[in-house]
Amino acid sequence: MEKIIEIKNMSFKYDKDFILKNINLDVFRGDFLGIVGSNGAGKSTLIKLILGQLKPNSGRLNLFGSPAWSCKKIGRVGYVAQVGLSRGMDFPATVGEIVMLNMYREIGMFRFPKKEHVEAVKRALDTVGMLDYINRSFSDLSGGQQQRVIIAKAIVNQPEVLILDEPTSGIDHQSEEILYQLLDRLNKEENITILMISHDLNKIKVHSNRLIELDSFEKEVN
């Protein structure tokens, strides 16, 4: 199996005290990895390290075979933050415009999107079941609908890995079920490797093929 992420004896601290210490983890292509742990255990910090936003104090963290903080293939990773664009957004932007934001590198600064960019946005919205809302104002959507649009934004560039930081936070039960069905489909049908932080052990246990508790990271939860 192809190893997407390799973490060996990695430790990280912001100041004096280590947030993560001697972490070991391998993530393989096709995994749906659930990450659980208590508040302050370093779950979001781990994600920032994988995304190359932080650099370990010691040990190794490779993404696609290269150190994550200098990986040139970071564009192959989609990311849905815990609290981000889908929270408290009230400026006038359509669903299509929100998803298009993630294509600025391809489009270029101060240039208009081409036909292929528009088609990519439509495909991403169709994948998450939100194509009919492409011209709707993002702020008019429910929390669950907004979260699906944010996932469309994360997958519009067809990433190989999708990382989500508690994406079910603040949405109702029905929207949560729809979201999990979407993630299952992306994982199984699109072969997208998924890493998802969750506070709901029972729920994530059902959908992930592997489950890691950060408080005792070397041990997988059965």
Each domain of the chain, given as residue ranges in start order, spans 3-216
Nearest-5° Cα angle at 64, 60 to 70: 65
The answer, yes or no, to whether residue 65 has pLDDT greater than 50, is yes
- 75 phi and psi angles, rounded to 5 deg: -65, -10
Q: What is the pLDDT of residues 80-137, one digit of tens each?
A: 987 644 454 566 799 999 999 887 666 555 566 778 888 999 999 999 999 999 999 9
Strand 161-165 to 18-28 pairing: unpaired
On the 0-12 / 13-18 / 19+ scale of CB atoms within 10 A, 212 is: buried
pLDDT number for residue 133: 96
**pLDDT computed for residue 165 by the predictor:** 93
Separation of alpha carbons 32 and 183, rounded Å: 9
CATH number of 3-216: 3.40.50.300
Segment 4-37, tens digit of pLDDT: 999 999 999 988 888 899 999 999 999 999 999 8
Confidence (pTM): 0.88
